[in-house]
């Protein structure tokens, strides 16, 4: 008997090799326009798919899940984050949710490191000056930034990405400090020469650069609120490649404008794709369009993970990257 080819609906355009493989394996409906689905279109997709493949631009809440048909069994997210899906409600409705962890870690850490270097060293301002054609030549005090080597880097969230940032940062002479739900095993701490801070507040007061690498969960929403941001030195920098919701973006913006923080590198925003307009044009801020994991290789590997999750599930086994209640 031929194997069951599940009806898979993909909400956005995926890399060509991924779409080709999906066509071979599944009865797949692709979104060739790459236009974001409206809420109504998402509801209709949930009504006909056995497997939905959403991305982080699709918000699937309890009300939308209420419109899912009984045939919907799996939501195979193309992405590592799952904060855009009401996983609790999905699980209650016996819908399994999977994601694509691991394959984004190194690429994301590269971009966090790039901003850890770029913001204190004023790379954006230097590049803009050259592009403007107004550079008048070298001068002793021109575009002086803050030295990287010897500074204290605080990493908030020491999972795969946080550890990958730490490995890179050590190569640049940064001292590694971290706050995490759990302390790392002693051998990993020793390898990274990392100092654990049980108290986030205490760590924030002592570091020079903060790299945010924790997921957005109810517990981390606005973890960096105005009170905590005020604990940081006015010479400190904030780098966020995780989720905008972890920082109170308005409070951060106010402090950057008031000179109460030295600068920020932000790849993610609270209300993407909207960005607080008062962040635009600030010289000490580098804004990127949520592109930390955007490599061709990474995007293909994400697709391969989605395919393995669907295939394993369709073959009657537990998909490898299932989002479990303990992760919420
Ligand atoms: C994810 O997969 O959650 C990332 O944020 C994409 O860059």
Residue 47 CA to residue 10 CA, distance in Å, equals 13
- Nearest protein Cα to ligand 1, atom 7: 293
Pick the CATH number of 105-287 from 3.40.50.1370, 3.40.50.10860, 1.10.10.350, 3.40.50.720: 3.40.50.720
Q: What is the dihedral of CA 181, 183, 189, 192, to 10 degrees?
A: 10
Task: Report whether pLDDT(1) > 70.
Answer: no
Q: How confident is the model at residue 326 (pLDDT cuts 50, 70, 90)?
A: confident
Paired residues of 285 in beta bridges: 264
192, 140 Cβ separation under 8 angstroms: no
Average pLDDT over residues 111-139: 98
At 203 the three-state DSSP class reads helix
Packed helices 105-118 and 160-171: angle between N→C axes, nearest 10 degrees: 40
pLDDT of residue 2: 57
User: Tell me: the pLDDT tens digits for 140-165?
Assistant: 999 999 999 999 999 999 999 999 99
Which tokens go with 26?
């599944």
pLDDT of residue 136: 97
Q: How confident is the model at residue 71 (pLDDT cuts 50, 70, 90)?
A: very high
pTM confidence score:
0.96
CATH 3.40.50.720 spans which residues of the chain? 7-103+295-327, 105-287
Q: Could you say which architecture CATH assigns to the domain 7-103+295-327?
A: 3-Layer(aba) Sandwich (3.40)
Q: How far is the CA of 268 from the centre of ligand 1 (A)?
A: 10
Q: Which atom of ligand 1 is nearest to the CA of 77?
A: 2
Q: Which atom of ligand 1 is nearest to the CA of 100?
A: 2
Catalytic residues: 243, 272, 290
pLDDT of residue 328: 86
Task: Report whether pLDDT(26) > 80.
Answer: yes
Q: Which atom of ligand 1 is nearest to the CA of 242?
A: 5
Residue 243 CA to residue 11 CA, distance in Å, equals 21
Instruction: Give residue ranges with CB within 6 A of ligand 1.
Output: 56, 79-81, 104, 290, 292-293
Cα distances (Å, whole numbers) of residue 271 to 15, 31, 184, 244, 250: 26, 24, 32, 7, 11
Which tokens go with 138?
């070298």
Residue 121: partners with Cβ closer than 8 Å, 6 or more residues away: 145, 146, 148
- Region of 234 (left: φ > 0; alpha: ψ -120 to 50; beta: rest) is alpha
User: Tell me: the pLDDT tens digits for 123-133?
Assistant: 999 999 999 99
pLDDT of residue 327: 87
pLDDT of residue 281: 87
């Amino acid at each position: 008997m031929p194997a069951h080819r599940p009806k898979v609906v993909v909400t956005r355009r995926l890399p060509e090799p991924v779409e080709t493989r999906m066509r071979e394996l599944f009865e797949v409906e692709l979104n060739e326009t790459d236009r974001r689905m409206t809420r109504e279109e998402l509801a209709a997709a949930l009504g006909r798919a056995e497997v939905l493949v959403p991305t982080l631009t699709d918000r699937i809440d309890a009300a939308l899940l209420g419109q899912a048909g009984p045939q919907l069994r799996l939501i195979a997210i193309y992405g590592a984050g799952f904060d855009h899906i009401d996983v609790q409600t999905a699980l209650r409705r016996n819908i399994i949710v999977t994601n694509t962890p691991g394959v984004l870690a190194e690429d994301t850490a590269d971009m966090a490191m790039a901003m850890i270097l770029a913001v204190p060293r004023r790379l954006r301002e230097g590049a803009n000056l050259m592009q403007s054609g107004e550079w008048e030549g070298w001068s002793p005090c021109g575009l002086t930034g803050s030295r990287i080597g010897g500074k204290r880097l605080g990493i908030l969230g020491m999972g795969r990405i946080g550890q990958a940032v730490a490995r890179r940062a050590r190569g640049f002479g940064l001292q590694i400090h971290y706050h995490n739900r759990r302390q790392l095993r002693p051998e990993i701490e020793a390898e990274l020469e990392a100092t654990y801070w049980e108290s986030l507040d205490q760590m924030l007061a002592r570091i020079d650069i903060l790299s945010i690498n924790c997921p957005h969960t109810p517990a981390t929403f606005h973890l960096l609120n105005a009170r905590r941001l005020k604990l940081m030195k006015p010479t400190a920098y904030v780098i966020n490649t995780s989720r905008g919701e972890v920082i109170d973006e308005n409070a951060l913006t106010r402090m950057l404008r008031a000179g109460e923080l030295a600068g920020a590198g932000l790849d993610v925003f609270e209300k993407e794709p909207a960005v607080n307009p008062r962040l635009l044009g600030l010289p000490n801020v580098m804004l990127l369009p949520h592109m930390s994991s955007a490599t061709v290789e990474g995007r293909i590997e994400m697709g391969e993970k989605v395919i393995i999750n669907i295939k394993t599930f369709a073959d009657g086994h537990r998909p490898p990257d299932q989002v479990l209640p303990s992760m919420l």
